Amino acid sequence: MSNIRMCRRARARLSVILNYSSSHRAYSSSSKVAANILGRKKNIPDYISPTNSRLLSISLCDYLPAECLAPLPSLAGASGDLFEPMPQGHHVVYFPLQTQPSKLHADGTDMDHWPGEPFERRMWAGGEVTFRQGWGRELQLDACPATCVESIDDVRLPAMSDNGTSDSNAKAFVDVWRRYSKVGSRMSPAIVERRTLVFFPRESQDTLKVHRPEKVVTAPHKPDYTISLTPTRALLANFSALSYNAHSIHLDTSLAHAEGHRGLLVQGPLSLTLMLAALRGQLVSEDATTRQATKWIGYRNLAPLYCDEPLTVCLREKGRQEAINEGERRWDVWIEGKSGGMAVKGTATTNDM
CATH number of the structural domain 3-352: 3.10.129.10
Residue 1: pLDDT band with limits 50, 70, 90: very low
Average pLDDT, the chain: 86
CA-to-CA dists, residue 56 to 59, 90, 178, 195, 259, angstroms: 5, 7, 20, 20, 28
**In the prediction, which pLDDT does 180 show?**
98
Q: Which tens digits make up the pLDDT trace of 182-204? A: 999 989 999 999 999 999 988 75
**3-state percent breakdown (helix, strand, coil) of the chain, nearest 5:** 30, 30, 40
pLDDT for the residue 326: 78
Instruction: Please write the tens of the pLDDT for every residue from 265-297.
Output: 999 999 999 999 999 999 999 988 888 999 999
Q: Angle at which helices 3-17 and 28-37 pack, to 10 degrees?
A: 160
Q: Is the pLDDT of residue 13 over 70?
A: no
- Residue 216: pLDDT band with limits 50, 70, 90: confident
Instruction: Please confirm whether the linkage preceding 310 is cis (ω < 30° from 0).
Output: no
Question: CB under 8 Å to 308, separation ≥6 — which residues?
Answer: 230, 231, 232, 233, 263
Is residue 142 scored above 70 in pLDDT?
Answer: yes
Of residues 251 and 319, more confidence is placed in 251
Using alpha carbons only, give the angle 345, 348, 352 rounded to the nearest 5 degrees: 165
Q: How is the chain split into domains, by residue range? A: 3-352
Q: What is the pLDDT of residue 19?
A: 44
Give the list of residues 6+ apart from residue 250 with CB closer than 8 angstroms, or none: 236, 239, 240, 256, 264, 265, 266, 267
